[in-house]
Copies of this chain bind each other. A is one copy, B any other.
């Protein structure tokens, strides 16, 4: 739903919801998730505390309110052409995601979000949960695409992709220091694509006898 649709009541509701979310995100990024109380958020948004909980079941939901990125891999699999392997489709999807993230405007924002999560145990816990949901959605998509897939194999592919994503996120964070220059960014970009190749190659061909 956007701000143009719906009845006046619905529009107003969406408006206060967005106001709360916006104000909350600002506060969290500025002062850290754990240092901001829900009472403060409510006061800053000029609503009652109850109103906050009417729109967001938990404090964490105030932070993870953006578009559901966790549906990405599942839809990528669903929309992939039939002749493309699932692993390859997932790889392409992941590459697209990080390329979007590395665009000039998005990088700083993403770093800020990332740092805020890293500083808060509660947000880290929530991120783990979201990753698990992403995995479950991926399992469904995989079985929908190929009904002959055993539950075990589907879950294994999904878990492997989740593992790959996690490792690559760590690599990404390491490759991109907070004060990265444009030139560092270029090399980081190249190195990251190499890392993506390496990781997805392991998914396709395994570790072999080496390890």
Binding site for B on A (CB under 8 A): 85-87, 125, 128-129, 132, 151-153, 155-157, 159-160, 162-164, 166-167, 170-171, 174, 195, 198-199, 202-211
A209/B152 in contact, CB under 8 A: no
Chain B residues lying within 8 Å of A160, measured Cβ to Cβ, are: 160, 163, 202, 207
Query: Are A206 and B209 closer than 8 Å at their CB atoms?
Result: no
CA distance A110 to B67 in the complex (A): 39
A86-B199 contact in complex given A125-B125, A128-B128, C-beta closer than 8 Å: no
Report chain B residues within 8 Å CB of A204.
Answer: 206-209
Interface of A is mostly: helix
Q: How many copies does the complex hold?
A: 2
**A174 partner residues in chain B, CB cutoff 8 A:** 151
Contact check, B203 vs A207: say whether CB atoms are below 8 A apart. Answer: yes
Complex-state Cα separation, A131 to B132, whole angstroms = 12
Q: Knowing A125-B128, A128-B129 touch, does A156 contact B167 (C-beta < 8 A)? A: yes
Chain B minimum-CB-distance residue to A155: B167
Cβ contact within 8 Å between B206 and A86: no
Task: Please determine whether B202 and A205 come into contact, CB atoms closer than 8 angstroms.
Answer: no
Given contacts A128-B129, A129-B128, A132-B128, contact A207 B157 (CB under 8 A): yes
**A-B complex: 4 closest residue pairs judged by Cβ atoms:** A206-B206, A159-B163, A205-B206, A163-B163
| A155 x B170 contact (CB < 8 A) | yes
Expressed in whole angstroms, the minimum distance between the Cβ of A163 and any Cβ of chain B is 4
A87, B211: Cβ atoms under 8 Å?
yes
Q: Which residues of B contact A207 (CB under 8 A)?
A: 87, 157, 160, 203-204
From B125, B152, B166, B198, A159 is in contact (CB under 8 Å) with B166
The smallest beta-carbon distance between A208 and chain B, in angstroms, is: 7
State in angstroms the CA–CA spacing of A174 and B155 once bound together: 13
- 13 A-B residue contacts at CB 8 Å? A87-B211, A128-B128, A151-B174, A152-B198, A152-B199, A155-B170, A156-B167, A157-B211, A159-B164, A159-B166, A159-B167, A163-B163, A204-B207
